[in-house]
Chains A and B, each alone.
With several copies, the nearest count.
Chain A
Amino acid sequence: MTESPTHTKQVVNDFSMVVATANGSGSLTSNLALIRALFRMGIPVSGKNLFPSNIQGLPTWYTIRASSDGHTARRDSVEILVAMNASTFAEDHAGLSAGGACFYADNLPKPRARDDIIYYPMPIRDLVKEVNPPRNLKDYVANMGYVGIVSEMLGIDLEAIRGALLTHFHGREKPVELNMGMITLAAEWARDNLEKQDPYRVQAENKTEGKILIQGNTAGALGAIYGGVSFASWYPITPASSFADALREYLPQLRKDNGKNAFAVIQTEDELAAVGMAIGAGWVGARSMTSTSGPGISLMAEYVGLAFIVEIPLVIWDVQRMGPSTGLPTRTSQGDVMFVRYLGHGDTKNVILLPGSVAECFEFGWRAFDIAERLQTPVFVLSDLDLGMNLWMSDPFDYPDEPMDRGKVLTAEQLEEIGEYARYRDVDGDGITYRTLPGNEHPLAPWFARGTGHDDQAFYSERPDDWERNMERLMRKVDSARELVPAPIQHGSGKARVGLIYYGSTESAVQEARARLSEGLEIDTLRLRAVPFSAEVKQFIDDHEVVYVLEMNTDGQMHKLLQLEVPEQATRLRSLTQNNGLPLTARWIEQSVADQAGG
């Protein structure tokens, strides 16, 4: 590659590259090779896969962002386009930032040229002919073509690419060689035939030292495993399936008992069965969970109400996708907050954890069980497609720093000592009563679980006072969750006039926006990590004149829950929402806040 004299000042390790392909063409391998290579070169990266809800042939965009500053959020501008899909070339081409680089398969019908971007044609077909791979691998190999050319033109180390592929193919040399063949050939072709004219390049740094690159669903599943999950039931659904996949991949490695499984992961016939099984397992004393997405949550409503009133601990991991209804199965959203909080008819009320990073997916993965067993109630973890299925950079996860809390469970020995037992008697005055597990051989142990009204011995009761007493205790119990759940995280001096409350996967975009905003108007931020809210939340709202509540749903659901939390300050809270399936960008946040706060 010969440096062009004419080229403008270089931009190093700071760009968004979009690879536009059709899904089912195996481009994911190529994109993962690119992103992992950058990562291994010490450059902070993030990867977002924008894919259709089908299996083959529809447009897919994979965005790789490199950011020396470590920003991992989506960003509006695209500096580098790799166009492999005729059907979207025109649109993608139009969306490229001025001064950007446009790599395109030279067989694509080229839209009218722009004079503000640099074009790099890629002779993918000819290159494939030259390599001549087995028929069934043609597509895969073709995609390696752009890996080679892009690497050459940006300066991505082919050894890093090779290493990435080795990881991908679990060390199997053969496929690696086949693909590297194409990649090097393409790279050489580029060196000989293309002239670097765009400013974007990569340069090794050391900013990913010791870090990992992982998806939230994998992180959450690992967290659950280190939280001791022994039973998981699930029904396939995008974007939650890969959570169960990860359980099925890692549990056998981590929880075998001479050859046998010391766990069970059951694929059910639907979500009613999934949550039903999880409740059955939670009842007998397993650390039990189910993972799903919106439609599954709807189907779980009746059983969740039962678990609430019988007081069965379980964890329900909701990887949110765009709703209502089937909605956009492959687009992200935070639209289940309100529904999950009150899931179940009657007066059901649920505890919610809100991870904001893959590290928190791991942490809440184990914490959720401690909280569920402590409170003896369903605990929901609301992740989303962006956090769950995309690749995020993170420090390695901390091993759980607290002993497991199995909650109030009485053994036969303890019963023998105490000499009496009533399942729903509030002996400690904290609203949390003592469980005994099926199999407990003490004659005092048995109680009959029922969703119907009951007295403190779990006997059927229609008495008004029994009902009132029990509900009063349940509300007190669920509300006491605020002391157990992870406290919110605040940034800023605390003295700013304007506050911003947010949660979940918008963390990355807010981090970046904070950096941008810091120049302009001063702002304090608070990231919620659970519902009900810890005391700090009210304090934060008290301390700020205006508080924006940022979220990815249409109805401003968390804004509503916060208004209910602080009626005195209800009017300080302003809802700030965008909900179109795409992760938020720092720029959008910056502008919306700036606009609203009047700069």
Chain B
Amino acid sequence: MATAVKTRKTKANKVGLAKANYKGRPSTLCAGCGHNSISSQIVNAAYELSLSPHQIIKLSGIGCSSKSPAYFLGRSHGFNSLHGRMPSLATGALVANRSLKAIGVSGDGDTASIGMGQFVHLVRRNVPMVYIIENNGVYGLTKGQFSATSDHEQTLKYAGTNPFMPIDLCMEALIANSGFVARSFAGDPKQVRELIKAALSFEGTAVLDIISPCVTFNDRDESTKSYSWGREHEDPLHDVTYVPRYEEIEVDYEAGETTEVRLHDGSALVLKKLDEEYDPTDRSAAIQILEQARANQVLATGLIYFNADLASLQDSEQMIERPLSELTVDELRPSQESLQEVLEGFK
């Protein structure tokens, strides 16, 4: 954990900002809500990565989770959009200005229920952004209805018993060809933070499905989205440590114990082997791990799948590096002569 520690010591980071500069407005979410702890890890990650807030945009749909962008990165522009439709808004924003880094925060209802279609197509286009699902298996803001990730057969106070099988958003992301699929747990802040850092350094859609308990409507011990269940059943695939570009990877593990994945900006995520070997670059292994976790009801967390070779949407569209939003009036309006030429073709 070299990085984090180091940066934490110094008050101001490489861009001269204190952590406070990455905070947002006071949260209006419930005390203890998992979403709040994820917000703080976003703050930590951005601070420790020394990102300039103006390079970041925050995006969300509608829900308690989707409110949270107001509670972090107060110095960044943000857009709290529509329920389930944030992916399209994010796509347009990032195509129009590819120099921006985007952090999208959504909920399980926002993504898996109403947002299923846009989510799949966002991933399929490989729009470069961090897409976080704060997954509590319930509709928080509307007071406790089932979402599409609620447990099969679980019972909730208002909603009754859920007859349907949950949607696994990591699996969805995987088969939609995401190059960065991770699962984590709000109760594991370090892992959340390191994964977010890596995701922020990845040039493609990085999907983080983070179990984020709703203490008000879905935190009973038997719920797979509760704190206690998470603590008891979390089974990390590896211990993850993000190592920035400008640092030698000198985290001292014995050889063989660790593997690393290189991110587009030259930084890396170091994966320390725990009980079993796991190779996140192996797609079928990734599918298997998700299937096993599903069958054995464990919370397998960590970097589930990684592939840095997929073209981003902007590259697929053969776009210039410069933000379209910065084109000058002259660049935007072709010349008078060009118009005459074009019109010739219609004579």
Contact = CB atoms under 8 A, between A and B. Distances in A.
Touching in the complex, A and B, CB below 8 A?
A: yes
Interface stretch (A151-159, A438-446, A555-563): A438-446
Contact of A269 (B52, B121, B142, B334): B121
Contact of B216 (A56, A58, A257, A278): A56
B114 A279 contact: no
A396 B347 CA distance: 9
Interface string B85-126: 101111111111101100000000000011011100100000
- Find the residue from B96, B314, B326 having the highest chain A CB count within 10 A: B96
B29 A55 contact: yes
A449 interface: yes
A283 B320 contact: no
Interface string A397-428: 10110011010000000000000000000000
B25 interface: yes
Interface in A253-283: 253-255, 257, 259-264, 266-270, 272-283
A32 to B, nearest CB: 12
Interface stretch (B70-78, B221-229, B230-238): B70-78
Contacts of B97: 284-286, 438-439
A203 B64 CA distance: 44
A390 B2 CA distance: 57
A494 B143 CA distance: 48
Interface stretch (A120-128, A230-238, A572-580): A230-238
Contacts of B312: none
A261 B316 CA distance: 11
A397 B92 contact: no
B42 to A, nearest CB: 15
A446 B114 contact: no
A199 interface: no
Nearest to A272: B85
B28 A57 contact: yes
B325 A285 contact: yes
A244 B57 CA distance: 28
Which size bracket describes the interface of A in this complex?
A: 35 or more
A254 B97 CA distance: 20
Contact of A276 (B74, B85, B142, B148): B85
A186 interface: no
Nearest to A449: B79
Contacts of B69: 448
Interface in A206-259: 210-214, 218, 222, 225-228, 230-231, 233, 235-238, 241, 245, 248, 250, 253-255, 257, 259
Given A55-B216, A213-B346, A283-B93, A439 B78 contact: no
Given A24-B30, A54-B29, A284-B325, A227 B333 contact: yes
A268 B84 CA distance: 13
A260 B90 contact: no
Given A277-B95, A326-B82, A404 B333 contact: yes
A295 interface: yes
Interface in A381-405: 396-397, 399-400, 403-404
B342 interface: yes
Given A58-B28, A237-B142, A266-B95, A283 B79 contact: yes
Given A254-B342, A446-B53, A231 B96 contact: yes
B317 interface: yes
B296 interface: no
B343 interface: yes
Given A281-B95, A438-B57, A446-B76, A230 B332 contact: yes
A45 to B, nearest CB: 13
A210 B128 CA distance: 48
A438 B75 contact: no
Nearest to A245: B158
Nearest to B321: A260
A495 interface: no
- Residues of B contacting A: mostly: mixed
B340 interface: yes
Contact of A57 (B30, B54, B113, B331): B30
Given A227-B333, A280-B89, A295-B83, A260 B319 contact: yes
B343 A212 contact: yes
B90 A280 contact: yes
A439 B70 contact: no
A232 to B, nearest CB: 10
Contacts of B114: 235, 269-270
A222 B342 contact: yes
Nearest to A266: B95
A71 interface: no
Contact of B100 (A268, A303, A438): A438
B325 A326 contact: no
Given A266-B317, A288-B92, A404-B332, A441 B85 contact: no
A397 B216 contact: no
B79 to A, nearest CB: 4
A460 interface: yes
B318 interface: yes
Nearest to B124: A269
B346 A212 contact: yes
Interface in B323-344: 323-327, 329, 331-334, 336, 338-340, 342-343
Interface string B127-160: 0000000000001111101101000000000101
A131 interface: no
Contacts of A396: 340, 343
B333 A228 contact: yes
B136 to A, nearest CB: 12
Interface string A182-215: 0000000000000000000000000000111110
A402 to B, nearest CB: 11
A8 interface: no
Nearest to B28: A54
Nearest to A395: B343
Contacts of A461: none
A260 B321 CA distance: 9
B161 interface: no
Contacts of A459: 25
11 contacts: A56-B30, A58-B28, A212-B346, A230-B96, A236-B143, A241-B143, A254-B338, A269-B116, A272-B88, A273-B91, A276-B87
Given A52-B28, A237-B142, A270-B117, 5 more contacts: A260-B319, A264-B324, A279-B92, A280-B88, A443-B75
The 7 tightest CB contacts between A and B, nearest first, are: A280-B92, A276-B88, A228-B332, A277-B92, A285-B325, A286-B96, A280-B93
